[in-house]
Amino acid sequence: MAYNSISEIIEICKEDGISFYEAVMRDTCKDTGHSEEENMTRMSEMWRVMCEASVGYDADLKSRSGLVGGSGRQMEAYMKSGGSYCGEFILTVMAEALKMGESNACMKRIVAAPTAGSCGVMPSVYIAVKKNHGFSDEAIVKSMFVAAGVGQVIAARAFIAGATGGCQAEIGTAAAMTAAGLVALKDGTPEQIANAVAMTLKGMLGLVCDPVAGLVEVPCVKRNVTGAANAVVCAEMALAGIDSAIPVDQVIDAMREVGDNMPSIYKETACGGCANTPRGLEVARMLEKS
Amino acid sequence: MNVFDILGPVMVGPSSSHTAGAVRIGYVTRVMLAEEPVRAEICLHGSFAATGKGHGTDTAIIAGLLGMKPSDMNVPRSFEIAREKGLDFHFENMVVKDAHPNTAVINVEGDGGRSIRIQASSIGGGRIMVNRIDGIEVNFTGESNTLIVHNTDMPGNVSRITSLLAEKKINIATMQLYRHEKGGFAVMILETDQDVPQEIIEEAQVLEGIIKVTYLQAVEV
Ligand code: SF4
């Protein structure tokens, strides 16, 4: 893996007069030994599975704890009722994020992006972008490389697992990747991509990993929604020309510092946060008995 | 690490370590058994024992033993399928000394009489590490083509295998040697750049000092 910082990618874009997508693709071709076309095919398969998972959502399923299931349908019904504050685009994002998170909790097929717990953030936004703004599958798949390239740098400089860095590393990374993809879709500059990533991560810095009973259900499913919304608003800020006061690589390093200093009760051990609330503990005891 | 380590794997939920990794552990165990499994004793350690049930770790391991990959939609139905296929299984919780928190120990018997004992851990993102084979400490992921050779701990065995591979123009990427005790029985783990064809495995099998040869074709995570 060639890129250890976002600034390095921006540098290469400038020097060689290429786009962020091209910089990531060039590195991917080198690493996988496959052509651009082959890599595009493989990424298209990820996108296809994401869409298939959305279509295959079953609102009647319940997760093992019984706490998760059916919210995606509720959100869609609310959207149709027409009385909401938000517009259709963001409502679609919300419904899709819930559907994907619930499908994951109910053992349906998903794409880890970057993890299974955070699998709803990216597809929810892309599905809404396709439905409401008419972007092509090809444009979406290309921007997924931009998103994954950003994820790669975060994985190299910090972490992408709740067990090592808290939820900022999972939902935070998923949101930052998605924001980057959104900016790339609208032909934003590499600097704008960097700003979107920085702003998204700053908004999620310090988020703890506190799954009730140790299961990827609560608060995970709904955090996919808030992560996705965060990605959208930060991409919009970046596209509006707003800069991040702290450069992106320094924000990623800050996330690392926060994660390194985070007590282990907030790293997927189910000993703190939501997991340690009276209700959370009650659910855990209930599951142990069954 | 490339972009497909970030986006992917395609998997059945809910957890890449507790579900996808667990399927892979079962799958790799089946490949090493090289027979249809008929009986399996599975011990879960650490977080696999604590939250495995809620994450479907048990269903996932059985799915892998039945030959399913992490993306197989039938993973949640594996217990039912195991019964249809006549795989008898049993789960227990166990504390394994110095083991990774997500560890399983699988004792499995095949329909042809072979048996194997595998200790493996799920190390994140659906990736796994095999830690022990039949009590001998080893270390490999199954992400490369892997040749596992049980042999007597005698001079010449290593060179017999490596020259056989060299003859067929198969490049060895990494090689590890492990043994039970001096002069006893040993395991060679060779990761190769090229696929190892069946005839080489058969040829290796009958070489002097070689007890058992198992081949694991690289499995994408
Ligand atoms: S709370 Fe933990 S398990 Fe849940 S999504 Fe966040 S990092 Fe993943």
**Residue A143 phi/psi, 5° resolution?**
-70, -20
The verdict on a CB contact (< 8 Å) between A116 and B7 is: no
The residues, ordered by sequence, that sit 6+ positions from A265 with a Cβ below 8 Å of its Cβ are A271, A272, A273, A276
pLDDT tens for each residue of B110-169: 999 999 999 999 988 888 999 999 888 999 999 899 999 999 988 889 999 999 999 999
Nearest-atom number in ligand 1 for the CA of A274 is: 1
Q: Is the minimum distance from the CB of A24 to ligand 1 under 6 angstroms?
A: no
Q: Is the minimum distance from the CB of A217 to ligand 1 under 6 angstroms?
A: no
**CB neighbours of residue A222 within 10 Å:** 17
B78: nearest Cα among B15, B123, B16, B22: B22
Q: Which of A39, A52, A107 to mutate to test the interface with B (most CBs of B within 10 A)?
A: A107
Domain ranges of chain B: 3-133, 145-216
Q: Whose CA is nearest to atom 8 of ligand 1?
A: A117
Residue B183: what pLDDT? Answer: 66
Nearest-atom number in ligand 1 for the CA of A207 is: 6
Alpha-carbon dihedral sign for residues B192, B193, B198, B202: negative
Do the Cβ atoms of A65 and B53 come closer than 8 Å?
A: no
For A112, which residue in chain B has the nearest alpha carbon?
B8
Domain ranges of chain A: 6-289
Residue B181 confidence (pLDDT) above 80? no
Q: Which of A109, A173, A178, A285 to mutate to test the interface with B (most CBs of B within 10 A)?
A: A109
The verdict on a CB contact (< 8 Å) between A215 and B54 is: yes
Q: Whose CA is nearest to atom 6 of ligand 1?
A: A167
Alpha-carbon dihedral sign for residues A25, A29, A35, A37: negative
Residue B207 Cα to ligand 1 middle (Å)? 51
Interstrand relation of B172-179 and B185-192 (parallel, antiparallel or unpaired): antiparallel
The residues, ordered by sequence, that sit 6+ positions from A277 with a Cβ below 8 Å of its Cβ are none
pLDDT tens for each residue of B75-91: 999 999 999 999 999 99
According to CATH, what is the number of the domain A6-289?
A: 1.10.4100
**Residue B111 phi/psi, 5° resolution?**
-75, -10
Note whether A271 contacts B: Cβ–Cβ < 8 A: no
Task: Provide the residue type at A107 as one letter.
Answer: M
Helix (H, G, I), strand (E, B) or coil at B139: strand
Nearest to B13 among A104, A161, A163 (CB): A104
Q: Is the minimum distance from the CB of A244 to ligand 1 under 6 angstroms?
A: no
Q: Which two tokens stand for residue A158?
A: 């910090």
Task: Provide the residue type at B54 as one letter.
Answer: G
CATH class of B3-133: alpha beta
Helix (H, G, I), strand (E, B) or coil at B214: strand
Residue A174 Cα to ligand 1 middle (Å)? 11
Note whether A45 contacts B: Cβ–Cβ < 8 A: yes
Do the Cβ atoms of A122 and A177 come closer than 8 Å?
A: yes
Q: Is the minimum distance from the CB of A174 to ligand 1 under 6 angstroms?
A: no
One CATH from 3.30.70.260, 3.40.50.1820, 3.40.50.720, 3.40.50.1380 for B145-216:
3.30.70.260
Q: Is the minimum distance from the CB of A272 to ligand 1 under 6 angstroms?
A: no
Q: How far is CA A81 from the centre of its chain?
A: 28
Note whether A287 contacts B: Cβ–Cβ < 8 A: yes
Interstrand relation of B145-152 and B185-192 (parallel, antiparallel or unpaired): antiparallel
Tell me the whole-structure pTM to 2 decimals. 0.90
Residue A263 Cα to ligand 1 middle (Å)? 15
The verdict on a CB contact (< 8 Å) between B13 and A32 is: no
Residue B182 confidence (pLDDT) above 70? no
Interstrand relation of B102-110 and B88-93 (parallel, antiparallel or unpaired): unpaired
Residue B220: what pLDDT? Answer: 60
Helix or strand holding residue B123 (H, E): strand B115-124
Q: Is the minimum distance from the CB of A211 to ligand 1 under 6 angstroms?
A: yes
DSSP code, position B207: S
Question: What is the interface pTM, i.e. ipTM, of the complex?
Answer: 0.94
Interstrand relation of A109-111 and B10-12 (parallel, antiparallel or unpaired): antiparallel
Residue ranges in chain A modelled with pLDDT below 50: none
Q: Is the minimum distance from the CB of A170 to ligand 1 under 6 angstroms?
A: yes
List C-alpha distances in Å: A206 to A260, A267, A275: 11, 11, 17
End-to-end CA distance of chain B: 12
A32: nearest Cα among A148, A112, A191: A148
The verdict on a CB contact (< 8 Å) between A49 and B12 is: no
DSSP code, position A172: I
Q: Is the minimum distance from the CB of A104 to ligand 1 under 6 angstroms?
A: no
Residues of B in contact with A149 (CB under 8 A): 3
Read off the pLDDT of each residue in B184-192 and give the average, rounded to a whole number: 91
pLDDT tens for each residue of B91-102: 999 999 989 889
